Amino acid sequence: MFKYLRIAILLVILATVAEEAWLAHSHAVSWSRPLQVAIYPINGDGSAVADAYLRGLQPRAFKSIEDFFADEARRRGLDIHRPVEIALAPIVASLPPQPPRDGSAIENLLWGLKIRYWAWRHDGVPGMRPQARLFVLYFDPATHDALPHSVGSERGMIGLVNAFATPAMAGSNAVVAAHELLHTLGATDKYDLASDQPVFPDGYAEPARAPRLPQQFAEIMAGRIPVSESDAEIPATLGACVIGDATAREIGWMKP
């Protein structure tokens, strides 16, 4: 009896999660209204530096992401005045479950359920029902040379972003956040996973540019500016990034 009850409850939870993901997604990509995005700051390493940085974050700290989407929509001649609206959510005092490294399909699926459950418990934003949720973990740059990989999942439209707790890195933190937000909208990576080099032509901001290298801008889903066949630079701000044609197609900004 209890066994069936447990299975029934589990099925209800699964159905709810699936439905919510489907609803959020089907609304998100129509672009008829601004996509509602909430950014949740989190102290990633428990440091005093990250704590001070979180408390100093201004409500407009991520305006550059709104501007980036608006500028790119305008550049493409799209009739979308404000593609994305971002709200800074209150600080979340809990750490999200980390994605498995090179996880199996089952491990990834389980993490997907865990992170959605965790997000559901921690995603309250006064006066807003976010469609996409980005949880940004801040780390003290003095004790962290490199950060774990950030992730963005289309299912549930959740991103986990690892960021440096210093104003000097605010621009590149926004680049990573915009990249993961685009993942939640269905965009795919456009760089070579082994070398980190942008893939031609989809990972190039200006694939028709002659000479092809060096490029001046980064395609946001390639994440880097190709300067030679073997070198690419990390853009300092979203001002050095564009949404390329392949990404535009994936997020419903261009006909397939």
Q: Interface with Zn ion includes 186 (CB under 5 A)?
A: no
Q: Interface with Zn ion includes 45 (CB under 5 A)?
A: no
Q: Interface with Zn ion includes 189 (CB under 5 A)?
A: yes
Q: What CA–CA distance (Å, rounded) separates 108 from 114?
A: 10
Per DSSP, the residues of 175-244 read: HHHHHHHHHHTT----B-TTT-PBPTTTTBS-TT-SS-SS-SSEETTT-SEE-SSS-EEPPSSGGGEE--
Size of site (CB under 5 A) for Zn ion: 1
**Closest approach of Cβ 53 to Zn ion, in Å?**
24
**Closest approach of Cβ 184 to Zn ion, in Å?**
11
Gyration radius of the chain over CA positions: 19
Residue number with CB closer to Zn ion (45 or 189)? 189
Residue number with CB closer to Zn ion (125 or 151)? 151
**Closest approach of Cβ 11 to Zn ion, in Å?**
32
Residue nearest Zn ion by beta-carbon distance: 189
Q: What CA–CA distance (Å, rounded) separates 38 from 133?
A: 5
Residue number with CB closer to Zn ion (53 or 111)? 111
Question: What would the two tokens of residue 17 be?
Answer: 């999660």
Question: What would the two tokens of residue 41 be?
Answer: 């700051």
Cα–Cα nearest to 163, from 171, 155, 218: 171
Residue number with CB closer to Zn ion (131 or 153)? 153
- Name the segment binding Zn ion (CB under 5 A); options: 40-48, 52-60, 69-77, 185-193: 185-193
By CB under 5 A, name the binding residues for Zn ion.
Answer: 189
